Structure 1
Amino acid sequence: MFGIHAKGVYPIAPTPFAESGEIDWASTDRMVDWYREIGATGMTILGIMGEAPKLDGSEAVEFATRIIRRAQGLPVLVGVSAPGFAAMRSLARTVMDAGAGGVMIAPPPSLRTDDQIVGYYAQAVEAIGTDIPFCIQDYPLTLSVVMTPKVIQRIIMDNPSCVMLKHEDWPGLEKISTLRRFEAEGGLRHVSILTGNGGLFLDFEMERGVDGAMTGYAFPEMLVDVVRLSAEGQRDAAHDLFDAHLPLVRYEQQPAIGLAVRKYVLKRRGILASDAQRKPGSSITPAAKAEVEYLLSRLARRDPRAAKLV
């Protein structure tokens, strides 16, 4: 269930494109079915990794609606960030009417002061409606907006419709501990915390008190297993599995080409028919592909799922 007690893994879904640049609907359906089969708790669409700014308004609605229907009750969180509140409200209301579980709002890069950030979220909530549950996206490495724990505390406490934090600050382990301390001391109501950054720090983030992951690694099964093992107290097993995937996780986290790497691996796994991005987009060189193939071959020695390629 999407809400303050949400746990597990909400993979950030890419938007599948054909070589022509059109949305690949067959790959979209296959991807949604796959997320359900591997044990994802929900999924997140139209995020940064989903190339959301490259879709026009009607495409975003059609894509979101199709996924929500295909998900058959699996909670879908929809990114609705937009330069203006009119577009944000329109998309948010439309996807909620279609059955979305909630929306995710990222701060615009122009925000600098604490009061500006808190004020922006108050205005965003006023625009979309207080009845829509929303997730804060805290991603300073890309968005250049730095939210301190105190700022996040203010946003959560000021807006009852805030039910989740997508935490992907880096380094961010101490921020997680601080937020959970605020909660333990009675200064912060509980919200779900899911983490991003490609899962790069998921092993210790789980131990700091997060509820799961919301990211786009090409082997989300690993994220599902690490979250489960950590919750079960199987610390060594969780770290062993995580460590086996870490070289590929790290490679995927390279700025500029990370999405290209991820889509390439998803194509090799048979989930996407093409690794194309809608222009403007990046691509990986033959040398980079060879490095990814080497990493996949090494990973297959420790996780047989990496050997099942097409």
Structure 2
Amino acid sequence: MPLDHTAKGVYVIAPTPFHPDGRVDEASTDRMTDFFLQSGCDGMTILGVMGEAPKLDGAESLEISRRIIRRAGKAGIIVGVTAPGFAAMRALAHGVMEAGAAGVMIAPPSHLRHDEAIVGYFHQAVEAIGTDIPWVLQDYPQLFQVQMTPGIIRRIVTELPSCVMLKHEDWPGLEKISALRKFQAEGSMRPISILCGNGGIFLDFEMERGADGAMTGYAFPDMLVELVRLAQAGERDRAHDLFDAHLPLIRYELQPGVGLAVRKYVLMRRGVLASDAQRRPGAAMSAKARDEVEYLLARLGRHDPRARLSPPA
């Protein structure tokens, strides 16, 4: 089903599995897809920042997308199509939509420095991919160095009807969610889905501010699913208790540079990935860092049985 403004739940950000020699690991890709969906995720977002998309060539990006879309069945798959030029963006967007993707995600290039340039860029992007493709606006100023105020987001949503979702990754960003929901309540902005990133570090309160769920990676996506469901059911204390138990590992995984290595390591420890390898260039975990992650997993296991893993080989 095409993505629309009613999307909610967890659309987990998927890493790209690699063999130690840099080849795409197809068996781990299938196992990862099954694991995410069996964990209760409503969909997946692939070829995002944590999917090492810039390290893939065009053919690899399309083939990985097709493989995951086929495997996922009716689950919604969103594909990151951000590219330096619109020709590559258009080719990948059309290819994945033809394969059955639910929608695509677009981030602003880092050179945009004023409001008119930001709005103009997204007009050009939609013109390139076509107005019939639903898309997600990625707001991640810490990485892309582009500041989008609530007013600019409202303008983009208003002027470009095919924008149906915001991936909210501003930090601090709780007031931005409240402002956007206020626009919606007063009728000055049409409804959109808001899913939140940043490794889930603020997901407990983001849900209370009006977010529809999470679009982030974490080595325990099944916890994100449970947290979102508790929050939607109004189980505030249970949601915060669950979040608090996982917060030390969430924080550790959120480290710039090494965060993807941590996530892949824990997914490997959970039996999802055969290897925690990244395609070069990539930051590897030190032996000390692995010891720290094992310590965090052991502590988490006191509260959540999902973290009670067999000792590493």
TM-score by length of 1: 0.99
State the shift of 1:73 in Å: 1.1
SS in 2 for 1:174: helix
**Counterpart of 2:85?**
84
1:171-250 mapped onto 2 (5 Å cutoff): 171-250=172-251
**Counterpart of 1:140?**
141
**Counterpart of 1:24?**
25
Q: Which amino acid aligns with 2:243?
A: F
For these two proteins, the number of residue pairs brought into alignment is: 310
**Counterpart of 1:93?**
94
> Distance between the aligned counterparts of 1:94 and 1:231, measured in 2?
35
Q: Which amino acid aligns with 2:72?
A: A
> Distance between the aligned counterparts of 2:305 and 2:222, measured in 1?
12
> Distance between the aligned counterparts of 2:166 and 2:110, measured in 1?
18
1:272-291 mapped onto 2 (5 Å cutoff): 272-291=273-292
**Counterpart of 2:47?**
46
State the shift of 1:153 in Å: 0.5
Q: Which amino acid aligns with 1:34?
A: F
SS in 1 for 2:257: coil
Please give the per-residue CA displacement for 1:113-171, whole angstroms capped at 9, x wherever unaligned: 01111110000000000000000000001111111101100100000100000000000
> Distance between the aligned counterparts of 2:257 and 2:118, measured in 1?
26
SS in 2 for 1:11: strand
Please give the per-residue CA displacement for 1:272-302, whole angstroms capped at 9, x wherever unaligned: 0000000000101111111000000000000
> Distance between the aligned counterparts of 2:9 and 2:136, measured in 1?
15
Q: Which amino acid aligns with 1:213?
A: A
**Counterpart of 2:171?**
170
**Counterpart of 1:150?**
151
1:112-127 mapped onto 2 (5 Å cutoff): 112-127=113-128
> Distance between the aligned counterparts of 1:35 and 1:260, measured in 2?
18
State the shift of 1:308 in Å: 3.3
**Counterpart of 1:15?**
16
> Distance between the aligned counterparts of 1:257 and 1:148, measured in 2?
29
Q: Which amino acid aligns with 2:306?
A: R
Q: Which amino acid aligns with 2:161?
A: P
> Distance between the aligned counterparts of 2:289 and 2:134, measured in 1?
40
SS in 2 for 1:308: coil
Please give the per-residue CA displacement for 1:14-60, whole angstroms capped at 9, x wherever unaligned: 00000010000000000000111110000000000000000000000
> Distance between the aligned counterparts of 1:141 and 1:260, measured in 2?
20
Q: Which amino acid aligns with 1:135?
A: V
> Distance between the aligned counterparts of 2:179 and 2:194, measured in 1?
12
State the shift of 1:222 in Å: 0.9
> Distance between the aligned counterparts of 2:309 and 2:77, measured in 1?
27
State the shift of 1:3 in Å: 1.3
> Distance between the aligned counterparts of 2:41 and 2:87, measured in 1?
32
> Distance between the aligned counterparts of 1:122 and 1:32, measured in 2?
33
**Counterpart of 1:67?**
68
> Distance between the aligned counterparts of 1:237 and 1:260, measured in 2?
30
SS in 1 for 2:79: strand
> Distance between the aligned counterparts of 1:73 and 1:183, measured in 2?
29
> Distance between the aligned counterparts of 2:230 and 2:9, measured in 1?
11
SS in 2 for 1:305: helix
SS in 2 for 1:40: coil
Structure 2 unaligned spans of 5+: none
Structure 1 unaligned spans of 5+: none
State the shift of 1:92 in Å: 0.1
Q: Which amino acid aligns with 1:104?
A: M
Q: Which amino acid aligns with 1:174?
A: E
The RMSD of aligned alpha carbons is 0.7
> Distance between the aligned counterparts of 1:87 and 1:249, measured in 2?
34
Please give the per-residue CA displacement for 1:172-219, whole angstroms capped at 9, x wherever unaligned: 000000000011111100000000000000000000000000000100
> Distance between the aligned counterparts of 1:51 and 1:3, measured in 2?
26
> Distance between the aligned counterparts of 1:281 and 1:205, measured in 2?
30
> Distance between the aligned counterparts of 2:285 and 2:32, measured in 1?
22
SS in 2 for 1:164: strand
> Distance between the aligned counterparts of 2:86 and 2:193, measured in 1?
25
**Counterpart of 1:269?**
270
